[in-house]
Structure 1
Amino acid sequence: MRLCMWQVKRYFYAWVGALLLSGCQAPAETATESPSGATPPNIVYILADDLGYGDLSCYGQTNFQTPTLDDMAARGIRFTQHYAGSTVCAPSRASLMTGRHTGTSYVRGNYETGPRGFGAELPLRPDDLTLGEVLQNAGYHTAAIGKWGMGMDGTTGEPFKKGFDYSYGVLNQAYAHYQYPDSVYVNGKREAVPGNQGRRMGTYSGDLYTDEAIGFIESVPADQPFFVYLAYTTPHAEMLVPEDTLFQRFAGQFDERPFTKGKQGGGDSADYGPDFGAYGSQNQPFAAYASMVVRIDRDTRRIKEALEAMGLADNTLILFSSDNGPHAEGGAVPEQFASAGPLRGQKRDLYEGGIRVPFIAYWPGVIRQPAESDLISSFWDILPTVADLAGTDLGDYRTDGISLAPTLLGETDRQQEHEYLYWEFHERKSTNQAVRKDKWKAVRMEPRGPVELYNLKEDIDESENVADDHPAVVAEISEIMDTARTLHPLWPVKD
């Protein structure tokens, strides 16, 4: 990709700033060898926003195709039991970034804080170790591009304070609802996006973020590994997308229910909070949703092809996932495309459809025997995984995760497994909790209420509650629900 002069200057100043900053900090613990016995890999983590488990054709989607991700899954590892950190944005991303589940993490919900209002989420604290900090301290050049949602400018959670040498995107996650942002934050400073004036004009968010990611990768010195956290804002509402040939491929194909700004329209989201009136109107939200997903696939191809062109593909691990299940906002209807696949529920549910997400690992130089993994894994596993791959350790920092490096390296005989996974969710009248333990999945809709129990090996859509048949399992999981969490002043258990 040919860089514009403003991009060259931007990456140069970011690099120089990182060098100056490193001179004021403790020396980095540079990793010289990874578990694979080679130079530590470059890592690109791509995160879609509200993409359902069934939205990729390699996970069963038949209404549209995602050939790039399908190919990466076929040549890499496709995980079938991978879970997001939460069922909504901020706590899920915080779980990914810090390696902690919502019972022990600091950010446990979409919490609006201070005078900045809606979308100005609770910031990460100085002692919340992040993926960026782990890899930066291991000698990586790091970038956070796209949607952040873990700290506004001037707070302890803005990206450059959490281990990222370069950052570009939207800090306020509500502002990420707009697919044509008129401004972004670049290394903590707000900048106008040239040509973006109005909600349907200029450069589309996915194009902006993909360009920035490629430009950053091209700017990194050849002898330095890099980490890119690339967080797209699609296919989250608003359901606006360029009406180009990609959109026209789907236009007119579906029995559409137009969405009008200021009205719910489409999915049944009335129980989930205030009216989503900020979302732009869309006469063909189903066509827009399909186009959004296919654009993510196309953007991933651009990243992949750029790495190949630079000769970096074999030593670059690309991870792809989504922050939670599919949404019913802005005119989207998850049932239209079976976006949750065979799973029950959607975004804001702790049933499988709200938290089980696609997860693909692609690493051509290492993953030489493609596989499908049913390992039960989660967002909070990513931090110990990247530390393992970078050849560094986490010191005294506590994580709830396990390293997935053995699975990625084809050494499944030494792969550790979780005793259980735990979630809690606070946006309904009572605190919802869920536990995954072996084949069992339990959901409790209120702290001292009945536990629903499902055998996922036989009942993936959680249609048959077998709690009465397995009292010992219910008792064991109830104990986990009562003890897995730490107290939090902002998120007490609601009866």
Structure 2
Amino acid sequence: MKKPALFALFFALSSIAIAQKKTDRPNIVFIMADDLGYGDLGAYGQQIIETKHLDALAKEGMRFDNFYAGTSVCAPSRSALMTGQHTGHTPVRGNKELEPEGQQPLADSVQTIAMLLQKAGYATGAFGKWGLGMVDTYGSPRNKGFDEFYGYNCQRQSHRYYPTHLWHNQERIELEGNGLLAKGQYAPELIQEKALEFIDNNKDKPFFLYVPTVLPHAELSGPDDQYYEQYANKFEEKAHKGNDYGPKATIPGYASVAKPRATYASMVSRMDAQVGQIVAKLKDLNLLDNTIIVFTSDNGAHREGGADPDFFNSSAGLRGYKRDLYEGGVKTPFIVYWQGKVAPGTTSNYLGAFWDVLPTLAEVAKAGKPQYTDGLSFVPTLLGKPKKQKQHDYLYWEFHEDGGRQAVRQGDWKLILQKVRSGNPVAELYNLKLDPKEQNNLATSNVKKVEELREIIAKAHVETRDFPLVSK
């Protein structure tokens, strides 16, 4: 055999070996929206906002219909995701603000999914909103397993889309315009550029790309570009006609109703387009067939800044919003794309939550077992082997504002305790199979079930000094 032929054969065999090795350890892209409602995607019934890229991922992957966030507000939900622990155990259980910038940090002893993957040889990057510890704390992204971070370290700062600064690892990046919308730099675009660069820079090794985007969190703000104009023109036309898209007959009222609606819709579509850009980048680099992509939201739809979740049916008919422990506050869209592994166009009723993500991705990446987790790996569900899937005995949430709330779901039953700090909480009991919108409180007619579920709540919650809930 001639040398060129031998070289070609050697190259072909080497390529096959490399491909087999790559397939054994897929890249992981985890994208998390901020305050996106369960019903804000077309794949989950949205009728007004266009989300074609995420709808395509759902069509080509698996849509979960029974998946839950860590809780109904930002920092503790993210803590549950990163640590694989529900809010009765996870270290950060509320949006505890620190001055001059930042929130209560994760402790030095806390293990995160990024730390597991980093130790297993993955390049790790986070681009978006962190909120679990400033750059000079144990909870900074760099100390919690991320090789690179770019974005808002402090979630309070992320309330502004034209901020004064962002953070790149330990470096504060000053932005033009001093936070003024008219002259400033639109942070989601800057963050997206860095996320795409991360893929380029790590295309030859397994990587974990975490994209906790700030869209569509309030404030309602963004450039007057094609994403905004498609809705502004539509809603303005509807406003003229006097239907539900805006105030009747007069355009002066348009700014107070239809403009915020157009802005919110454009923010969701912009986020969807950025997901499409990430998918396109993976495809261009021939990485898409060896990448698992996960999309979700950190909690339910918000009502701040003029947002109108009822108009968009953002909770898909479920009761509640952000900060509630009703279904609309904690149930989240959850989509997984994994070519060759997840069957296209499938749906799952697996009852899962954010604390399942850590053991699942650790298994996918062959990263070993975590130190501790409340979660279960749902890899069997992804691979179409439901009979091998372990099931939760219960799911548990807590929320520390508004007098304190706790909730547990076991099977079809869900118990919510309101005003927990009062020492005499108000119980609400729902059968979600018969009453998915939580309209019929059965607490007084089924006292036995209330007591059973209260025992689970007492077992699930471990009091902590940093975030006390039930102690005096």
Distance in 2 separating the partners of 1:108 and 1:183: 27
Q: Is the 8 A contact 2:92 2:467 kept in 1?
A: no
In structure 1, what is the equivalent of residue 144 of structure 2?
162
The residue correspondences of 1:414-433 to structure 2 (distance < 5 A) are 414-429=388-403, 431-433=404-406
In structure 1, what is the equivalent of residue 52 of structure 2?
67
* Residue type at the aligned position of 2:435: D
Q: Secondary structure at the match of 1:444?
A: strand
Q: Secondary structure at the match of 2:24?
A: coil
In structure 1, what is the equivalent of residue 100 of structure 2?
116
**Offset at residue 476 of structure 1 (A):** 1.1
Q: Is the 8 A contact 2:297 2:333 kept in 1?
A: yes
Distance in 2 separating the partners of 1:489 and 1:338: 39
Distance in 2 separating the partners of 1:390 and 1:378: 19
Distance in 2 separating the partners of 1:378 and 1:180: 32
Distance in 1 separating the partners of 2:318 and 2:257: 27
In structure 1, what is the equivalent of residue 246 of structure 2?
255
Matched, 1:173 2:164: no
**Offset at residue 283 of structure 1 (A):** 7.8
- Which segments of 5 or more consecutive residues in structure 2 lack a partner in the other structure? 1-16, 239-244, 249-255
Distance in 2 separating the partners of 1:318 and 1:193: 31
Distance in 1 separating the partners of 2:200 and 2:23: 22
Matched, 1:359 2:334: yes
Distance in 2 separating the partners of 1:391 and 1:46: 21
**CA shift digits 1:57-114 (9 cap, x unpaired):** 110111122111111111101001111111111111111111111101110000013x
Distance in 2 separating the partners of 1:99 and 1:249: 40
In structure 2, what is the equivalent of residue 51 of structure 1?
36
Q: Is the 8 A contact 2:88 2:397 kept in 1?
A: yes
Matched, 1:228 2:209: yes
TM-score, normalised with respect to structure 1: 0.84
Aligned-residue CA RMSD in angstroms? 2.3
Distance in 2 separating the partners of 1:464 and 1:434: 16
Q: Secondary structure at the match of 1:46?
A: strand
**Offset at residue 242 of structure 1 (A):** 1.0
Q: Secondary structure at the match of 1:249?
A: helix
Matched, 1:238 2:219: yes
**Offset at residue 392 of structure 1 (A):** 2.4
Please point out which of 366, 377, 401 is paired with 2:352: 377
In structure 2, what is the equivalent of residue 343 of structure 1?
318
Distance in 2 separating the partners of 1:232 and 1:348: 19
**Offset at residue 195 of structure 1 (A):** 7.0
Please point out which of 97, 108, 123 is paired with 1:126: 108
**CA shift digits 1:19-58 (9 cap, x unpaired):** xxxxxxxxxxxxx99xx99421100100100000010011
Distance 1:124 1:353, change over 3 A: same
Matched, 1:148 2:137: no
Larger-Rg structure: 2
* Residue type at the aligned position of 1:162: K
In structure 2, what is the equivalent of residue 443 of structure 1?
416
In structure 1, what is the equivalent of residue 25 of structure 2?
40
**Offset at residue 206 of structure 1 (A):** 2.5
Distance in 1 separating the partners of 2:22 and 2:414: 38
Q: Secondary structure at the match of 2:324?
A: coil
* Residue type at the aligned position of 1:286: R
Q: Is the 8 A contact 2:62 2:335 kept in 1?
A: yes
In structure 2, what is the equivalent of residue 91 of structure 1?
76
Distance 1:483 1:241, change over 3 A: same
Distance in 2 separating the partners of 1:66 and 1:283: 20
Distance 1:126 1:394, change over 3 A: farther
Residues 350-359 or 183-192, more deviating:
183-192
**CA shift digits 1:391-449 (9 cap, x unpaired):** 12235x111111111111222221111110111111112x2110011111111113443
- Which segments of 5 or more consecutive residues in structure 1 lack a partner in the other structure? 1-31, 258-280
Q: Is the 8 A contact 2:317 2:437 kept in 1?
A: yes
In structure 1, what is the equivalent of residue 183 of structure 2?
201
Q: Quote the sequence identity (%).
A: 44
Distance in 1 separating the partners of 2:258 and 2:230: 15
The residue correspondences of 1:320-331 to structure 2 (distance < 5 A) are 320-331=295-306
**Offset at residue 182 of structure 1 (A):** 3.3
In structure 1, what is the equivalent of residue 432 of structure 2?
456
Distance in 2 separating the partners of 1:50 and 1:214: 23
Structure with the larger helix share: 2
Q: Secondary structure at the match of 1:422?
A: strand
Distance in 2 separating the partners of 1:206 and 1:408: 31
**Offset at residue 472 of structure 1 (A):** 2.9
Q: Is the 8 A contact 1:196 1:203 kept in 2?
A: no
Q: Is the 8 A contact 2:246 2:257 kept in 1?
A: no
Distance 1:55 1:208, change over 3 A: same
**Offset at residue 193 of structure 1 (A):** 3.5
